[in-house]
Amino acid sequence: MTTQTTTAQTPGSPTTEPNKGLIGIPEHIGRALATAGGALTVISTFLAWTWTSAFPGDLTYYGYPGGLQVLVLIGGALTTLFGLASYGTKGLRWLTPAGADSAIKLAATGTFATAWYTIIAISATLGGLVHLEPGGWIAAIATLTALLGALALPFERPEPDPHDPDDTGWEQFRHHTRHALTTLRAAVASGRTKTPRELPAYAEILIIVAALTTGLIVFTYGIGTSYDELFVGFLITAGFGFTALAKAGLINRVSAITAKHRNVTLIGAFVAAAAFPFTQSDDQYATIGVYILIFATVALGLNIVVGLAGLLDLGYVAFLGVGAYTAAMVSGSPSSPFDIQLPFWASALLGAAVAMVFGVLIGAPTLRLRGDYLAIVTLGFGEIFRLAVLNADGTSGPDITNGSNGISSIPNINILGFDFGQEHTIAGFTIARFANYFLLMLLITLVVVVVFRRSSDSRIGRAWVAIREDETAARAMGINGFRVKLIAFALGATLAGLAGTVQAHVTYTVTPEQYMFAHVVPPNSAFLLAAVVLGGMGTISGPLVGAALLYLIPAKLQFLGDFQLLAFGLALVLIMRFRPEGLIPNRRRQLEFHAEAEAPTVLSKSGA
C-alpha cells in the first residue's frame, strides 16, 4: 500500500505537508483569514459607508445597517458561521453535515461580490471613491481578505489511501464502506461511542418553522426591494447563500426533516404564505404576490404533465386561457356575448371542466406521439387557440370572444357577500383587493398541491413515473400508456383552467396576447416550462419556487431595458449549468445528474 503525501489537516493538529488551495496559502491560515474576514465584514456594516444620503438606502448611519449593508451583513455572518463550523465548534457542526470548505468559498465569494458591487455603485452614482467613508473601505478589505482565505482552502477533498492499486472505484468504495461500518460497530460494542440519535419531534418541527419563517422573510424582502441596486444585491446574496447552504448539506438535511413531517410542512407553508398580505401596508407588492401564485399554480399543473408523466407540452398556457375565457363569458361581463352571471364557484367549476374537455380532445389524437413530435403538436395547439380567440370577433368568425379587444370589465368575485374588490379589515389588519385575491388564490394553490401530492403517491402516479422513465418497459409490464398519459393531460388541463378562472377576475380583461407561447410577461408556455425545469421536475415546492423567481426577476429587471432578456437568459444558463437538476430536485433526478459524485475517484500512486 502506498501512502499519500498530501494529507487532510484537522484544525489544531500538525501535518507533514499542509493542503494548499488555489493561491498557495496553507489551509489553516486560509481558514483563519476567511473566518476573521467574515467577522470584520459584519462589523463594517455597522459603520457609515458614504457621507451623503444621495445613494439609495442611506448608508450614512453608524450602528444601524441599511440597504445593501444588510445583505453584506448576512453574507459576512454566513462566512463566519461556516468558518467556525469548519473548526468543529460545538453546536455549529450540525449546519455543515457535508463539510464547510465549499460553503465557505461560496459565502465569501457572494459577500465579496455584493460588497464590491455596492462600492462600485456608490462610486458610479456619486462620482468617485472619494465619497466612501471608512466603513466602505473596511468592508472592501474585509471581504477581499475573506475571499483570499476561502481560495486557500482545498477545492477537492483528499481521498483516502487506496485498498489495492488495481481496485476499481466501486470496489474501493465498498472496501472503505465496509471498513467504516466494522470500525463503528466495534466502537459501539466497546462503549466508546454512541450511534447518532435523531432529534426529538418537537425540535424537528421547530426547524421546519424556522425554515418556513426564513423563506417568508426572504420572499417578502425580495418583493419589497425598493430600488434596482438593492434587488441586484439581493440576487447575488440569495444565489450564493442558497448554494452555500446546499453545498454544506444543510438544505438536504432540512429537506429530509420536512419529508418526514409532510403534513406539518404543508400546513406551515400555507400559514406562512397566508401571513404575507398582512406584512404589506398596501397593494403594491400584494399585486406581484397574486400573479406569482397564479403562475405557480399553473406551473404545478404542468409539472404533472412534464415532471411526472414526462410529456413535453409547449402549448399548456392555452388551457389557462380556456379557463379564463370561460369564466369571463359567464361572469356577467358586458363584453360577453352571453347574458349570464354565474356565481364564482359555478364559473370556476365550469372553467375547469371545459379545460379538461379540451385536454381530452387535444390529447386523444396526439398522445400516441412521443418526444419532439408531441412537443410540436402541443405548440401548434397553443397557437391554434390564440388564433381562434383572435378571429372569433364576429367578422373573421363567430362573435364569441370579441377578437383582439378581448372580454373586458369582468366583475370582481363575490362569495357569500364578501366582495374581493373592496378593502376589508381582518384582526385589525386592512387588506385591499389584491390581498383578497392572494388569499383566494392561495386556497386554490393548496387544492392543487393536495391533488398533485395524492396523484403522485397513487397507483396512477407510479404509472406516470414508469412511463416517463421508459415507456416501452412500462407497456411490457402491463401499463396502458395511452390511457395513463391522457389522464395526466386531462388533469393538468383541469388545474390550469381552474387557475385561469381566477386570473380573469384579477386582470379584469382577457385578451389573446396573454396566452402566447413566448411573451415578455409571464405566464406563457415558455416561462411555465422553464419554471418546472428550473424549480425541480416532479416535486411540489420546485415549480412554486421556480415560478416565483421567473416572475419576480423580470419584474425587477425592467431597469435594464433592452438588456433585460439577455441578463435573464444568462442567469438561466448559469443555473442550469451548475444545478441542472433544478433548485429543489427530487432524489432520483439528483442522482441522474450527479451519479459520478456518488463514488470517490481513485487516486494514482503518484497522487495526481
Q: What is the pLDDT of residues 153-205, one digit of tens each?
A: 886 544 443 444 344 444 444 444 455 445 445 544 444 444 445 778 888 88
Contacts of 471 (CB under 8 A, 6+ apart): 370, 481
Closest to 138 in 3D by CA, of 33, 30, 39, 40? 40
Task: Please count the residues of the chain.
Answer: 608
Burial (CB count <10 Å: 0-12, 13-18, 19+), residue 411: middle
Percent of the chain with pLDDT over 70: 84
What mean pLDDT, rounded, does the chain reach?
Answer: 81
Q: How many domains does one find in the chain?
A: 2
**Which residues, in sequence order, are bridge partners of residue 407?**
510
Q: Is the pLDDT of residue 417 over 90?
A: no
- Average pLDDT of span 507-532: 79
HEC string of 129-147? HHHECHHHHHHHHHHHHHH
What is the residue range of 34's domain? 27-157
- Supply the DSSP string of 507-527, one letter for each residue: HS-B-GGGG-SS-SSS-SHHH
- Average pLDDT of span 201-218: 89
- Supply the DSSP string of 168-216, one letter for each residue: -HHHHHHHHHHHHHHHHHHHHHHTS--PPPPPPHHHHHHHHHHHHHHHH
> Is 86 contained in some domain?
yes
Residue 353's CB is within 10 A of a number of other CB atoms, namely 15
Question: Which phi-psi region, left, alpha or beta, contains residue 517 (left: φ > 0; alpha: ψ -120 to 50)?
Answer: alpha
Q: What is the pLDDT of residues 246-289, one digit of tens each?
A: 888 888 888 888 888 888 888 898 888 888 888 777 777 888 88
87-101, 149-163, 210-224: lowest mean pLDDT where? 149-163
Q: Is the pLDDT of residue 18 over 70?
A: no
pLDDT band at 491 (very low <50, low <70, confident <90, very high): very high
90-99, 558-567, 584-593: lowest mean pLDDT where? 584-593
328 or 518: whose pLDDT is higher? 328
Q: How far, in Å, CA of 541 to CA of 535, rounded?
A: 8
Burial (CB count <10 Å: 0-12, 13-18, 19+), residue 220: middle
- Point out the domain boundary residue: 494, 519, 547: 547
Q: How far is CA 227 from CA 216, 221, 526, 534, in A?
A: 20, 12, 28, 26
Asked if 194 contacts 21 with a C-beta cutoff of 8 angstroms, the reply is no
Q: How far, in Å, CA of 485 to CA of 304, rounded?
A: 10
Burial (CB count <10 Å: 0-12, 13-18, 19+), residue 201: exposed
Asked if 314 contacts 379 with a C-beta cutoff of 8 angstroms, the reply is yes
pLDDT band at 607 (very low <50, low <70, confident <90, very high): very low
Asked if 553 contacts 298 with a C-beta cutoff of 8 angstroms, the reply is no
> Is 403 contained in some domain?
yes
Question: SS3 of 152, please?
Answer: coil
Question: SS3 of 34, please?
Answer: helix
Asked if 161 contacts 2 with a C-beta cutoff of 8 angstroms, the reply is yes
Q: Is the pLDDT of residue 378 over 90?
A: no
> Is 335 contained in some domain?
yes
Q: Which helix (H) or strand (E) holds 63?
A: none
> Is 526 contained in some domain?
yes
Q: How far, in Å, CA of 440 to CA of 324, rounded?
A: 16
Q: How far, in Å, CA of 34 to CA of 108, rounded?
A: 7
- Average pLDDT of span 336-362: 90
104-139 per-residue burial string, b: 16 or more CB within 10 A, e: under 16: bbbbbbbbbbbbbbbbebbbeebeeeebbbebbebb
Asked if 568 contacts 138 with a C-beta cutoff of 8 angstroms, the reply is no
- Point out the domain boundary residue: 528, 547, 566: 547
Question: What is the reported pLDDT for 178?
Answer: 52
Question: What is the reported pLDDT for 195?
Answer: 41
Centroid of chain to Cα 50: 34
Q: Is the pLDDT of residue 79 over 90?
A: yes
Largest CA distance in the chain: 89
Q: What is the pLDDT of residues 550-559, one digit of tens each?
A: 888 877 777 7
Residue ranges in 367-458 assigned as alpha helix (H)? 371-391, 433-456
> Is 421 contained in some domain?
no
Beta strand 414-415 pairing with 418-419? antiparallel
- Point out the domain boundary residue: 496, 521, 547: 547
- Average pLDDT of span 445-456: 88
Question: What is the reported pLDDT for 76?
Answer: 95
Q: Which amino acid is at 256?
A: A
> Is 22 contained in some domain?
no
Backbone angles phi, psi at 414, to 5 degrees: -135, 115
Residue 404's CB is within 10 A of a number of other CB atoms, namely 12
Peptide linkage before 523 cis (omega within 30 of 0): yes
Q: How far, in Å, CA of 455 to CA of 597, rounded?
A: 32
9-23, 198-212, 488-502: lowest mean pLDDT where? 9-23
Closest to 579 in 3D by CA, of 244, 260, 305, 258? 244
Question: What is the reported pLDDT for 237?
Answer: 94
Peptide linkage before 411 cis (omega within 30 of 0): no
- Average pLDDT of span 213-237: 88
> Is 240 contained in some domain?
no
Residue with cell 402491463: 478
Question: What is the reported pLDDT for 190?
Answer: 44
The grid coordinates of residue 570 equal 444568462
> Is 537 contained in some domain?
yes
Cα angle, residue 222 at apex, residues 228 and 217 outer, rounded to 5°:
150
**pTM metric for this prediction:** 0.78
